[in-house]
Chain A
Amino acid sequence: MENKTAFIFPAFITEFTGKEIDFLRNNGLNPTKYLKIISETINIDFPDFTYKNDLFREELTSQLLAYTFSCTYYDVLKQKSIIPDFVAGYSMGVYASLYSSKSIKFETGAKLIFDAYHLLYELTKTGLYGMGAIIGLPYLDVQELIQTSSLSVEIINVNNEHSLVVAGLKKEINILLEKSKEEGALTAAELTVDTPYHSKYLSRFAIPFKTVLNKLEFDDPQVPIVSTYNQRLIFSAEDIKQELVFNLTEKISWHKTMQKLVELGVNDMYECGAGKDLKKISRFIKGDYKLRSAYKI
């Protein structure tokens, strides 16, 4: 079978490797320039990027920063004539995947992140909602814990067979995380977000978000995008809009998305973004593929 390549895009940066800036500078790119474009597009005053600036840990700015690094990493790969056969974005990483498939301009992605965040802000600002990660317990065990404890928390993403993401009311998430630890989870930790992405609480935002999307310009993707919602291949601008609504308001499966890439014959994957979160998650996702951080090229 012919070798196939996929670019995958993270949604967040848990931890920088510390090699990001050098990698980009050595390839003639400066993330600060990209951040300035974002500043002008959405009227946010970004300072110059430094690894230790806490501003970049806030929910909106961290998403914008992850998007910026993902797009700059993609630009490096493009400069080196490394072209993907497929792309996929983990959760909010979908926006960088659209940029890489030439469906949107860089500015449009920033605007999408900004608009989605503000649309959901009425939930976010309450401080009542959140997300959590559970590592080391099977899906069915966590589902049983939710049911037996009469919690309304949902498993909103399966990263791999040992790693799950949950969302819902913060106080219920904390109960679930405690019970998960008692049950033998190796890690059960709250995520630093106040928005219950991909949960039922976001269903009512589907139509307003579609309205936002209809005001922006999308082109048909030049590279097929794999849906994290149902793993279909996306070829049209109209389907992209539908996927963006699903990606915000419905459960996703990164595990199935990676499996789909493997089924499609992808054996070379590049993680386009700062940190190495997707590489870490790829443990326990079976397949004959090599996943490397883009800075390794």
Chain B
Amino acid sequence: MFQYIIRRLLLMIPTFLGITFMVFFILQVAPDGPFERAVAQLKSANATSESGVSMSSDLIGNSSELSPDILEDLRMQYGLDKPIIIRYLIWLGVFPKEYKRETAVIGKHFRETVDFVQINENSKKQLQKYILVESEVDKNNNISYNIIESGAGLKYSLPDVSRLQTDENFDFDKYIFFQNEYQELPSHELISTWYFSNWDLEKVNSDNTVTLVKKEFNGIFQGFLGYSEKKGKNVSTLIAERMHISIFFGFTSLILVYLICIPLGILKALKHGKRFDVLSSIIVFTGYSIPGYALGVLLLSYFGGDIFPLHGWRSPDFSELSLWGKIKDQIHHAFLPIVCYMVGSFATMTVLMKNSLMENLNQDYVRTAFAKGLSEKRVIFFHAVRNSLIPLATGIGSSIGIFLAGSYLIEKTFGIDGIGLLGFNALIDKDYSIMMGALAIQVVILLIGNLISDITYAIIDPRIRFK
């Protein structure tokens, strides 16, 4: 058993890689991606700037085309200068991503600005680093280069920071001690020397300069799902913000489906061919024939507005409600979506339960149980039902996966901002970093769900032994 689980876990790795690579590949080769959009945006910006406001000259190439330099920069920014497989490895985090590049004069400091870091309510700290490249000639006349990195934390109070951005007459020198030329390290109490530098020397240029690059492993394996430029947030944050919604809908509908379908299936099997069976079959078939989101639209048009809210996950004033009010509000908003979530698997579950029980009632062991004089109730509920639950129990893992991954159709219909809708909107916006991040999470959820399925299968059904 243990070995089996280990083997399944190991198999998950190539599956995960296969899925993500396929999607990554398609996203990268698909036309009209983020790069093309950025180019188009720049072009239109150029066009408007020429007609009216002037822009800095290096941004404008010729009249409508972008200059090759800018295109090259853009390509680098989107990572298109590397082959797809390398881009994929960068995304995974097994290949370092180059995210900064600097041409440094040997013997001179250059400053690397790191973002403001909030310390407390009204002060921020700006982290800055000073990098000095020194060349050293040893006795064999080989030149070696040392990269020395120093850092400083500058403290600003918040009003100054905002003034920095708005006030034209702001006295920069008073607050910022550094000139544009960094011959020397600025004198400052907070400056300390880094022991190592994560700048790498790429090449030595002829004009006494060197090209430095900064690389970092930053991908899925480091827990970094990507950064969405459009939303200005990390993908992991975006997903974490929505996870509870998907978990709520996923588990609630899953539990309700099992709670309703198992008794219904048992009842249908016991009353096979009778009026109850036929009537409930009609309901079950209707549920099977109507897609959940379509039912959602119908329900919305009849009950939306006055009885149930038209869209959303909770009321805007949810946090101000009392506990009872919160529960009521949540049920109020979740009722229709959960009905739609359930419709999808309702029919299959019920029929599965019914068929499975009927098959078991046909088995010899049931005959034996009857023959030794057990009561009908005991035979059915103690022997037959238990065995017929096996296929349902094994399905629970993959159901968890499917429910948690979210249905973008239902989320779109009801305007619930869950993971499914996040992925769908990313698709529309061509926000591929979100798509890939959401995909990675969903794939992992699905794979774990399948694993749970297999394990429950092995635990529940003693006939199955995995060797």
Partners in one complex: no
A contact residues vs B (CB 8 Å cutoff): none
